[in-house]
Every structure is written in C-alpha cells, then in structure tokens.
Amino acid sequence: QVQLEQSGAEVKQPGASVKVSCKASGYTFTRYHMHWVRQAPGQGLEWMGVITPSGDSTRYAPKFQDRIIMTRDASTSTLYMELNSLTSEDTALYYCAKDSGSFSGDYWGQGTLVTVSS
C-alpha cells in the first residue's frame, strides 16, 4: 500500500533553514507529481509547491518563491523540501502529498512539525 513517511520534528532558530524529507513506498515514485502543504497553528491548509515526476521542474506558491527548494531522489524514492530564512510564522505542521494524477493529493504523509523559536 502507498505510504509516505516523513522525517521527525525540528526546532530551528529564526533565520535558519530546515530540510524535511518524505520517503515514499508502495507505488512507482517516478510517475507522480509530489506536493508540500503546511498548516500553522490555528490556521488552514496552505499549498507550498509541487515537483514533477522526474524532478526537473518545480512550481512554488508566490509567497515561498524566493526561499523554498523542492527536490526528489529517485534512487531512494525520497522527496525533500528546504525552507530558508525561517521566522516564527513558519512554525507549522508540514505535509507531503502524492498527486493523484488529477491535480489533487490522494496520499499524504503524517506531517512534520517545524518549530521556529529563539
């Protein structure tokens, strides 16, 4: 069955970077786009970006455009999301999601809590 296993919680200082991973299993990793979505405390879901199956192209939400990098490693079926210049507003639960093939996320990781605090 499809599983997306995310890396553990992180605590970072303001101005630092964080890199979250998402290891996929149970399907052909190189056939599907992958997304990152986050939810800050008390807030709604927020789409961050998407990466193509081959990893050769990404599309980011405008608000993250200049400080996010999404990559993927086909050899380990792992997706990565790096967010730079962290502020307290980046404290959130970060989810990876597999695209269904029809512009929606059909399987999701369990979430990775990133806390930004001095």
Partner 1 sequence: QSALTQPASVSGSPGQSITISCTGTSSDVGDSYYVSWYQHHPGKAPKLMIYDVTKRPSGVSDHFSGSKSGNTASLTISGLQAEDEADYYCCSYTSINTYVFGTGTKVTVL
Residue 63 beta carbon to partner 1: minimum distance, rounded to whole angstroms = 7
According to the binding rule CB under 8 A, does residue 94 interact with partner 1?
no
3-class secondary structure per residue, the chain: CCEEEECCCEEECCCCCEEEEEEEECCCHHHCCEEEEEECCCCCEEEEEEECCCCCCEEECHHHCCCEEEEEECCCCEEEEEECCCCHHHCEEEEEEEECCCCCEEEECCCEEEEECC
Rounded to the nearest angstrom, the gap between the alpha carbon of residue 40 and the centroid of all alpha carbons in its chain is: 14
Residue 77 beta carbon to partner 1: minimum distance, rounded to whole angstroms = 18
Residue 59 beta carbon to partner 1: minimum distance, rounded to whole angstroms = 6
Give 54's Cβ-side CA count (13 Å radius).
2
Positions in 52-81 near partner 1 (CB under 8 A): 59-63
According to the binding rule CB under 8 A, does residue 37 interact with partner 1?
yes
According to the binding rule CB under 8 A, does residue 110 interact with partner 1?
yes
Mask of contacts with partner 1, 38-57, x by CB under 8 A? -x----xxxx--x-------
Residue 62 beta carbon to partner 1: minimum distance, rounded to whole angstroms = 6
Which residues in this chain contact partner 1 in the complex, by CB under 8 A? Answer: 35, 37, 39, 44-47, 50, 59-63, 93, 95, 97, 100, 102-106, 108-111
